[in-house]
A and B are shown apart, each in its own frame.
Chain A
Amino acid sequence: GAVVSQHPSWVICKSGTSVKIECRSLDFQATTMFWYRQFPKKSLMLMATSNEGSKATYEQGVEKDKFLINHASLTLSTLTVTSAHPEDSSFYICSARDSFGWGNSPLHFGNGTRLTVT
């Protein structure tokens, strides 16, 4: 149980285009989803916390107009990288927490998306 599906696994796009990444909880309801970015040999850096039906909470230094997050349902959150540039190339991964959990409940992760902007 507790499967999170993230698509696409990898994407290559041209500079200036936008890319949408989907994160779906397949067998549980996720009121909260998290979006992370990972640089090589670095830790998962939290970008934003996505709550169903409300605006995402962005971490300091993350441009909300650059990284648009939508959490329209209890099972789907999307991250759109707008007007992508080569410096946005990175590994992005989502995780979800079930409706009744908080910090003492494990996170369920997607497989991640490798974005390359040329």
Chain B
Amino acid sequence: ILNVEQSPQSLHVQEGDSTNFTCSFPSSNFYALHWYRWETAKSPEALFVMTLNGDEKKKGRISATLNTKEGYSYLYIKGSQPEDSATYLCASLSGSARQLTFGSGTQLTVLP
């Protein structure tokens, strides 16, 4: 992996469903992995900053895991609500990058 890649690009889930999406990043020279939530017409808001392999962080119904050896992070949302609808961005500081490199985001729509 040379760039930061996120999948899926978009998804729709029903209210109450749990969901997860993936961020892949260069595993070499890893320093940090960030997750942001970006709601329409607002600024991206930081969810998690993760630095340790195997780390798991949680904020309410949202949690994230990190595997720095294989270069991926999962973001989980339990019991999705319409207010969770947003684009979720990940960014890594790893590989040959000198600054955070962002993925294209996963656009989540939670249907009531």
State the A residues within 8 Å of B (CB). Answer: 4, 6, 34, 36, 41-46, 49, 93, 95, 103-112
Contact = CB atoms under 8 A, between A and B. Distances in A.
- 10 tightest A-B contacts by CB? A106-B46, A103-B93, A109-B43, A44-B102, A43-B104, A103-B32, A109-B44, A43-B102, A104-B32, A111-B43
Interface string B28-50: 00011010100001111110010
The binding surface of chain B is classed by DSSP as loop
Interface of B: 4, 9, 31-32, 34, 36, 41-46, 49, 51, 89, 91, 93, 99-105
A43 B38 CA distance: 12
A60 B10 CA distance: 30
A77 B111 CA distance: 39
Q: Looking at B4, B34, B99, B101, which has the most chain A CB atoms within 10 Å of its CB?
A: B99
Nearest to A42: B104
A45 to B, nearest CB: 8
A22 to B, nearest CB: 14
B49 A105 contact: yes
B92 to A, nearest CB: 9
A105 B51 CA distance: 10
12 contacts: A4-B43, A6-B43, A34-B99, A44-B89, A93-B44, A103-B32, A106-B34, A107-B34, A107-B36, A107-B44, A107-B100, A108-B43
Nearest to A104: B32
Q: Looking at B32, B44, B91, which has the most chain A CB atoms within 10 Å of its CB?
A: B44
Contacts of B93: 103
B6 to A, nearest CB: 8
A49 B43 contact: no
Contacts of B104: 41-43
A34 B44 CA distance: 14
